[in-house]
Structure 1
């Protein structure tokens, strides 16, 4: 019985983390390319979850000349409106 509740708690935590990531953005630092990439928090092309940023910070980042949008997750769609 303890395993079941512990498993449910772990699943709930994972779901909460996933939901938070989907409502956040992240920046992939520029390393081998001249620009950094902005991703939606849940984008699988850049899996680092450290340093998720808010909508407001994502809008500021995207306005920078050395930051581009990920072509896979298209983070700019979540920034409109």
Structure 2
């Protein structure tokens, strides 16, 4: 033999490499699934909470749902009870896009 590698050894090496690659892909899938689950939990928590975007210059404070994309800048996170109280405040308006008052009066 002049140092040639047999077909059997080549295929064993290839199989080992493919098994390694498969492990790497499965690990990555697990990581992505965990990240997606975490993101879903954060979204669910955000839709069940509210934030107040403070007054700025001549604009009133705005009550948003926690996951509203229009809630920008510094925000004050609040719970359901505080959001219901905020609805009654004359200096706080509700976001016309996310409609944070929906469902608050009921519960």
TM-score in terms of structure 2 length: 0.67
Which residue is equivalent to 1:28? 53
Which ranges in structure 1 are unaligned for 5 or more consecutive residues? none
Shift of 1:66: 1.1
Partner Cα separation in structure 1 for residue 39 and residue 74 of structure 2:
13
Aligned-residue CA RMSD (Å): 1.9
Distance in 2, matches of 1:7 and 1:16, equals 14
Structure 1: 4+ residue segments shifted above 3 A: 47-51
How many angstroms does 1:17 deviate by?
0.2
Which structure's relative contact order is higher, taking Cα pairs within 8 Å and 6+ residues apart?
1
Structure possessing the higher radius of gyration over alpha carbons:
2
Q: Which moved more, 1:19-28 or 1:49-58?
A: 49-58
What residue number does 1:80 align with?
A: 105
